[in-house]
Amino acid sequence: MEFVCRVGAPDGRILEQVTEAATAAVARTDLERTGYHVFEVKPKGMSLSFGGKRSRKRRVKDQDFLIFNQELAGLLRAGLPLLQALDMLSGRDRDPQLTEVLGEIRDKVKAGEELSVAFGDAGDMFPPLYASTLMAGERSGDLEQVLRRFIRYQRLVMDTKKRIVSAFVYPTLLVFLSITMVVVMIVVVLPNFQEFYDSMEVELPLPTRVLLGISDFVQSRGLWLLGGIVGGVYLLRRWFETELGAVWRDRMQLRIPVAGSIIHRFSLSEFCRSLSTLLAGGLPLVPSLEVSSVSVSNAYLRSQLEPIPTRVREGAALHDAMKETAVVPNLTIDMVQVGEATGALDEMLSNVSDFFDDEVETQIQRLLSLVEPIMLVVMGIAVAALLLAMYMPLFSVLGQVQ
């Protein structure tokens, strides 16, 4: 059977080769014996893409995936063979889609494929980092310890995301309540005042006329307005799904005061922590960089970090390649340079990631200290302006009476 293989040559080039073998696992073993680093093996006729094929299935929930890895690591530590552990886990009562995929992975491993290749074939359902982490464990012969390291990484990332989400719950609620209150006043309250204004037979002040015009427009063309908003949001979301749209959106996010700095540091923390995890698992630097750079959630930063593996493959030091991107802080570059010089790059990257996580938490608290009072002031001004515009005609009538 013929297989198309994506491999890394000893001189640093990425090649595609066609080889004959009984199974994908045999093809991989034969290529590794000749000195190649194998990224992916596919039967001839199927397309290759580093990290596996694209999947239309939704991504596995972080919590479900964490539980699966904890169970797998526990079974391996208890001495169960990998295939038996997969048999037990694939039969558990969990998310139906995850159960189905685990059954497919078990069958592939049973047929001779490596676990990392089987998970890589699942595409976007699992993080790109995971298949490479498994590969490192398979190469080192200590899969259970590598899984433990990935579990620690996953917990840290999940905890950081939860802190960010929980921090923005209250400001988001304030924004929602403000918008709801303004809409209710314009659509429900103001039309009742309009009948009262008509009976007064006085010239209305400009702010009141503007507010009544907005109310009339919303009531007469509200469905068209709602349809336009929904259609615009849909088209915008579709554009954001493209590479160009995602890069533009995420670049704009980085320009938001304070919040942009939080997003920047969180993305760099993702990059450094994933790179540290892969290097600690025994994966070579260039493949680790290739996986870590595409694991960053911010599309703009991801596009800026993706040239780093190529520069390192060409012979540049990692800290020099980072400096060329212009998105990595100088302090991080200096710490990476020290890690390269001392041979403790994985530990230094882990320290850098911890430093970014602390900065993210500090800046979130700073942002909340600014957002909450600003939102309260904006809400007060909006309510005061609406009430003033609604009652100004009454003040005019009272003035005329006096």
- Would you state the pLDDT for residue 333? 92
Residue 52 falls inside a structural domain: no
Question: What pLDDT is recorded for position 155?
Answer: 86
> 237 or 132, which is more confident?
237
- Residues with Cβ < 8 Å from 186, sequence gap 6 or more? 211, 214, 215, 218, 386
Q: Specify whether 224 is located in the same domain as 365.
A: yes
State residue 68's pLDDT score.
87
Residue after which a domain boundary falls, among 166, 187, 214: 166
pLDDT bin (cut points 50, 70, 90) of residue 54 is: very low
Q: 367 and 240, same structural domain? A: yes
Ranges of H-type helices in 255-326: 259-280, 285-294, 299-305, 307-313, 318-325
How many other CB atoms sit within 10 Å of the CB of residue 321? Answer: 22
Query: What is the Cα–Cα distance from 133 to 147, expressed in whole angstroms?
Result: 8
Give the helix/strand (H/E) hosting 339. Answer: helix 330-342
Same domain, 149 and 195: no
**Per-residue pLDDT at 313 exceeds 80:** yes
The per-residue DSSP string of 62-94 comes to HHHHHHHHHHHHHHHHTT--HHHHHHHHHTSS-
Residue 50 lies in a domain: no
pLDDT at res. 57: 61
Q: Which of 166, 199, 233 is the last residue of a domain?
A: 166
Average pLDDT over residues 336-351: 90
CA 88/CA 68 separation, integer angstroms: 11
pLDDT of residue 225: 82
CA distance 7 to 41: 9
Confidence of residue 48 (pLDDT cuts 50, 70, 90): very low
Kindly state whether residue 143 falls inside one of the protein's structural domains: yes
Q: CB of 198 within 8 A of CB of 402?
A: no
Q: What is the mean pLDDT of residues 261-281?
A: 86
pLDDT of 121 higher than 70: yes
Residue 41 phi/psi, 5° resolution? Answer: -130, 125
- For the segment 66-119, what is each residue's pLDDT rounded down to a tens digit? 888 888 888 888 888 888 888 888 777 667 788 888 888 888 888 888 888 888
The mean per-residue pLDDT over the stretch 268-292 comes to: 85
- Looking at the structure, tell me whether residues 144 and 156 fall in a common domain: yes
pLDDT tens per residue across span 2-30: 788 877 766 556 677 788 876 677 777 78
Looking at the fold, whether 324 and 356 belong to one and the same domain comes out as yes
| Both tokens assigned to 29 | 């073993």
**For position 51, what pLDDT does the model report?**
41
Cα distances from 351 to residues 30, 74, 276, 355, 357, in angstroms, run 38, 27, 9, 6, 10
For CA atoms 358, 359, 360, 364, give the dihedral sign: positive
Task: Look at residue 168 in the predicted model and tell me its pLDDT.
Answer: 75
Let me know the angle formed at the C-alpha of 103 by 101 and 109, rounded to the nearest 5 degrees. 105
Co-location of 28 and 68 in the same domain: no
> How many distinct structural domains can be found in the chain?
3
**Prediction pTM value:** 0.66
Task: Pick 396 or 292 by higher pLDDT.
Answer: 292
Position 55 scores a pLDDT of: 44
Same domain, 113 and 255: no
Both 160 and 186 in a single domain?
Answer: no
First to last CA, the chain: 100
Q: What is the CATH number of the domain that holds 24?
A: 3.10.20
Q: How far is CA 373 from CA 341, 343, 386, in A?
A: 47, 48, 20
Give the whole-number percent of the chain exceeding pLDDT 70: 90
Q: Is the pLDDT of residue 50 over 50?
A: no
State which of 148, 166, 184 marks the end of a domain.
166
Asked if the structure places residue 49 within a domain, the reply is no
Give domain status of residue 48, yes or no.
no
Q: Which residues of 4-17 are buried (b: 16+ CB within 10 A; e: fewer)?
A: bbbbbeeeeebeeb
Mean pLDDT of 268-282: 85
pLDDT of residue 398: 64
Q: Using a pLDDT cut of 90, give the percent of the chain over it.
A: 9
In a domain, 296, yes or no: yes
- Mean pLDDT in the chain? 81
Residue 57 domain-assigned (yes or no): no
Q: What's the CATH code of the domain at 86?
A: 1.20.81.30
Which pLDDT belongs to residue 38? 77
| CA distance linking residue 204 with residue 394, whole number of Å | 10
Spatial distance between the Cα atoms of 326 and 29, rounded to a whole number of angstroms: 40
Beta-strand ranges (E) seen in 134-187 are none
pLDDT per residue as tens digits for the range 155-197? 888 887 787 777 778 778 888 887 888 888 777 777 777 777 7
Residues 108 and 255 in one domain: no
The shares of helix, strand and coil residues in the chain, as percent rounded to the nearest 5, are: 75, 5, 20
Residue 271, in any domain of the structure: yes
pLDDT score for 140: 67
Residues 282 and 339 in one domain: yes
Of the pLDDT bands very low, low, confident and very high (cuts 50, 70, 90), residue 376 is confident
What pLDDT band is residue 44 in, cutting at 50, 70 and 90? low
Q: Nearest-CA neighbor of 51 among 139, 149, 153, 119?
A: 119
Range of the domain at 94: 62-166
Both 135 and 239 in one domain: the answer is: no
pLDDT(400) > 60: no
Q: What is the largest CA-CA distance in the chain?
A: 101
Shortest CA distance to 32 belongs to which of 126, 138, 118?
138
Tell me, what's the pLDDT at 172?
A: 81
Please give the pLDDT value at position 308.
Answer: 92
Question: For residue 201, is pLDDT > 80?
Answer: no
Question: Is residue 17 helix, strand or coil?
Answer: strand
- Given a cut of 90, whether residue 248 has pLDDT beyond it is yes
d(CA 361, CA 368): 11
- 59: confidence class by pLDDT, cuts 50, 70, 90: confident
Can you tell me the distance from the alpha carbon of 63 to that of 377, in angstroms, rounded to the nearest whole number?
38
Spatial CB neighbours of 398, under 8 Å, sequence gap ≥ 6 = none
Residues 268 and 255: their CA atoms lie apart, in Å, by 16
pLDDT over 80 at 239, yes or no: yes
Instruction: Give the separation between CA 315 and CA 72, rounded to whole angstroms.
Output: 38
Q: How high is the pLDDT of residue 13?
A: 60
Q: What is the pLDDT of residue 47?
A: 41
Q: Looking at the structure, do residues 31 and 105 belong to the same domain, yes or no?
A: no
Provide Rg for the chain, Cα atoms. Answer: 29
